[in-house]
């Protein structure tokens, strides 16, 4: 049988230089010859690894250790455009970046999610978020100077990036205060908008996380939706109020602004994709990571997590490379993924499984161990040293 013939030079344009975008670009570069162009467009010239923000908060990392210039991609033959994407025309596979039009034979949309902190009046003034690098650093400094009172961790909406992160934040703060010898003088409360920790993963996982919180004397208040906040006080939608001395929060998210005028946005404002191929309704246009809406069998969306953005990136890159080489695209994203939950400075639990399982995700959790903590360190190492 004759080998399929590789097509003439093609271009792949990747929207967003976060976890999904960078993983896709690297994989494509390895799969495709240098005649094919791979371009990544990102608003900012630097990448920072969000999964390590909480290590910045806890003093285990400096911001410079988890930040890299995207320009490093150019050494690998990946073209880089720094600028804000204002419009996406999926029919013509064309994007407009500050007035300049860029067209690709294939588009991969990986623009993440925008924060909508302003949807909770007073929240940004009342507390600090650990969901940005600057916020995590600032909260860490405040905790370093905090030795008495009530510290509240809040999830400001049920939908946010990384379901484990607020729980991890509470546990790492507990570890920071213990190390300082002031834990006995600080009450830690976690008020969550969602009904249970990592609820999508099932009650086994939720119960395991609740037990870890209990062992660390962190008081947990689920289904407690914040309505507004002011200095020292939070008001909840059930009419209750809570005083605090220090507030750290996970902000709500909304679809990235570049989607607001694009036909790519589905009825939810996020991008609808085929759950296995990540292809949108537009030929040659794929979407991966946080900006997608992938309903699970339990009618909730696949969690926003870097581990999924990464796996999806590899599937999409492999299928685009196959198509360009004249082969059938056969790679499939099967819904498997895992999530680390750091429980102190040296140990993490690990919940992993199949989120596409029917009738509900099948996820198992491993109790806190040094091994899982080291696995997260290795993941971080690979991203920071091998991707950029």
Ligand X SMILES: Cc1cc2nc3c(=O)[nH]c(=O)nc-3n(C[C@H](O)[C@H](O)[C@H](O)COP(=O)(O)OP(=O)(O)OC[C@H]3O[C@@H](n4cnc5c(N)ncnc54)[C@H](O)[C@@H]3O)c2cc1C
Q: Which stretch binds ligand X (CB under 6 A): 36-44, 116-124, 190-198, 208-216?
A: 36-44
| DSSP H or E stretch at residue 26 | helix 19-31
Q: What Cα–Cα distance (Å) separates residue 246 from each residue in 138, 146, 152, 183?
A: 12, 8, 6, 14
Q: Is 352 in the site for ligand X (CB under 6 A)?
A: no
CB of 39: closest distance to ligand X in angstroms? 12
Q: Is 137 in the site for ligand X (CB under 6 A)?
A: no
Q: Which stretch binds ligand X (CB under 6 A): 39-47, 217-225, 269-277, 325-333?
A: 39-47
Closest CA to 49 of 19, 80, 83, 74: 19
CB of 118: closest distance to ligand X in angstroms? 17
Cβ pair 275, 268 in contact under 8 A: no
Q: Rule CB under 6 A: choose which of 54, 175, 218, 388 binds ligand X.
A: 54
Closest CA to 174 of 381, 345, 363, 358: 345
Which one, 130 or 356, has the nearer CB to ligand X?
A: 130
d(CA 145, CA 56): 16
Task: Give the contact letters, 277-296, x = binds to ligand X (CB under 6 A), - = no.
Answer: ------------xxx-----
Cβ pair 345, 333 in contact under 8 A: no
Q: Is 110 in the site for ligand X (CB under 6 A)?
A: yes
d(CA 57, CA 166): 12
Q: Rule CB under 6 A: choose which of 27, 29, 106, 161 binds ligand X.
A: 161
Which one, 185 or 257, has the nearer CB to ligand X?
A: 257
What number of residues does the chain have? Answer: 388
Q: Is 151 in the site for ligand X (CB under 6 A)?
A: no
Q: Which stretch binds ligand X (CB under 6 A): 139-147, 303-311, 320-328, 355-363?
A: 303-311
Which one, 143 or 231, has the nearer CB to ligand X?
A: 143
d(CA 190, CA 249): 10
Q: Is 131 in the site for ligand X (CB under 6 A)?
A: yes
Which class for 206: exposed (0-12), middle (13-18), buried (19 or more C-beta within 10 A)? buried
Cβ pair 89, 282 in contact under 8 A: no
- 296 contacts: CB under 8 Å, gap ≥ 6: 200, 302, 335, 355, 356, 360, 361
Q: Rule CB under 6 A: choose which of 28, 38, 51, 324 binds ligand X.
A: 51
Q: Is 252 in the site for ligand X (CB under 6 A)?
A: no
CB of 68: closest distance to ligand X in angstroms? 12
Q: Where on the chain is the footprint of ligand X (CB under 6 A)? A: 16-21, 41-44, 50-51, 53-54, 84-85, 110-112, 130-131, 161-162, 165, 256, 258, 289-291, 304-307, 309, 339-340
């Amino acid at each position: 049988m004759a080998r399929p013939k590789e097509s003439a030079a093609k271009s792949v344009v990747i929207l967003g230089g976060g976890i999904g975008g960078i993983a896709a670009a690297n994989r494509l570069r390895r799969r495709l010859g240098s005649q094919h162009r791979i371009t990544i467009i990102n608003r900012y010239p630097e990448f920072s690894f969000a999964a390590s923000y909480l290590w910045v908060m806890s003093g285990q990392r400096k911001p410079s250790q988890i930040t890299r210039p995207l320009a490093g991609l150019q050494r690998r033959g990946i073209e880089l455009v720094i600028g804000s994407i204002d419009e996406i025309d999926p029919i013509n596979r064309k994007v407009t970046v500050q007035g300049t039009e860029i067209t690709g034979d294939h588009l991969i949309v990986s623009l993440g999610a925008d924060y909508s902190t302003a949807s909770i009046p007073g929240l940004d003034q009342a507390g600090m978020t650990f969901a940005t690098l600057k916020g995590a650093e600032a909260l860490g400094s405040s905790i370093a100077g905090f030795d008495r009172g009530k510290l509240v961790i809040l999830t400001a909406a049920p939908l946010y990036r990384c379901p484990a992160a607020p729980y991890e934040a509470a546990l790492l703060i507990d570890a920071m205060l213990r190390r300082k010898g002031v834990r006995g003088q600080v009450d830690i409360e976690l008020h969550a908008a969602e009904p249970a920790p990592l609820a999508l993963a099932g009650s086994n996982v939720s119960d395991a996380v609740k037990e870890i919180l209990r062992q660390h004397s962190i008081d947990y208040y689920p289904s407690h939706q914040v309505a507004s906040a002011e200095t020292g006080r939070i008001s909840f939608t059930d009419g209750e109020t809570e005083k605090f001395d220090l507030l750290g929060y996970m902000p709500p998210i909304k679809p990235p602004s570049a989607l607001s005028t694009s036909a790519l946005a589905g009825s939810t404002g996020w991008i609808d994709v085929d759950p296995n191929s990540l292809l949108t309704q537009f030929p040659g246009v794929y979407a991966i990571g946080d900006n997608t809406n992938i309903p699970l069998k339990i009618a909730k969306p696949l969690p926003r997590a870097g581990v999924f953005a990464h796996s999806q990136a590899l599937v999409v890159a492999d299928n685009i490379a196959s198509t360009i080489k004249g082969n059938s695209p056969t790679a499939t994203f099967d819904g498997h993924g895992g999530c680390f939950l750091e429980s102190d400075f040296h140990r993490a639990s690990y919940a992993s499984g199949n989120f596409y399982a029917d009738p509900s995700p099948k996820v198992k959790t491993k109790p806190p161990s040094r091994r899982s903590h080291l696995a997260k360190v290795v993941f971080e190492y690979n991203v920071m040293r091998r991707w950029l």
